[in-house]
C-alpha cells in the first residue's frame, strides 16, 4: 500500500519549483517539480495545498492531510 506521510506534505509545502506536486510512482510517492509532467499520477499539488491551508501548514494539518490523501489512494 502506498502511504503519504506528513514529511511528504512538508516537502511539497517547502518546494520552490514552479508547479510542484506529489505523484504516485512505482516505489511510492515522489515530489515532482512540475505537475503537468506526471498528470495522471498526481495526488496533490502545491497550488491545492496553498488554496486549502495557506502558505503555512502545521504538523497536525500535515498529518491529517497525509492520512486523508493516503485513504483516497486505496
Structural domain for 47, as ranges: 6-73
pLDDT at 1: 81
Q: What is the 3-state secondary structure (H, E, C) of the chain?
A: CCCCCHHHHHHHHHCCCCECEEEEECCEEEEECEHHHHHHHEEEEHHHHHHHHCCCCCHHHHHHHHHHHHHHHC
pTM passes above 0.85: yes
- Flag whether pLDDT at 61 surpasses 90: yes
Residues belonging to the chain: 74
C-alpha 12/C-alpha 49 separation (Å) is 8
pLDDT at 8: 97
pLDDT at 38: 81
In a domain, residue 1? The reply is no
pLDDT band, very low/low/confident/very high, at 47 (cuts 50, 70, 90): very high
Question: How many domains would you assign to the chain?
Answer: 1
In a domain, residue 35? The reply is yes
- Flag whether pLDDT at 57 surpasses 90: yes
In a domain, residue 50? The reply is yes
Amino acid at each position: 500500500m502506498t502511504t503519504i506521510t506528513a514529511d511528504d506534505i512538508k516537502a511539497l509545502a517547502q518546494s520552490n519549483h514552479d508547479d510542484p506536486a506529489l505523484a504516485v510512482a512505482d516505489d511510492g510517492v515522489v515530489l515532482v517539480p512540475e505537475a503537468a509532467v506526471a498528470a495522471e499520477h498526481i495526488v496533490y499539488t502545491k497550488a491545492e495545498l496553498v488554496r486549502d491551508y495557506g502558505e503555512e501548514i502545521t504538523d497536525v494539518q500535515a498529518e491529517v492531510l497525509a492520512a486523508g490523501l493516503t485513504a483516497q489512494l486505496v
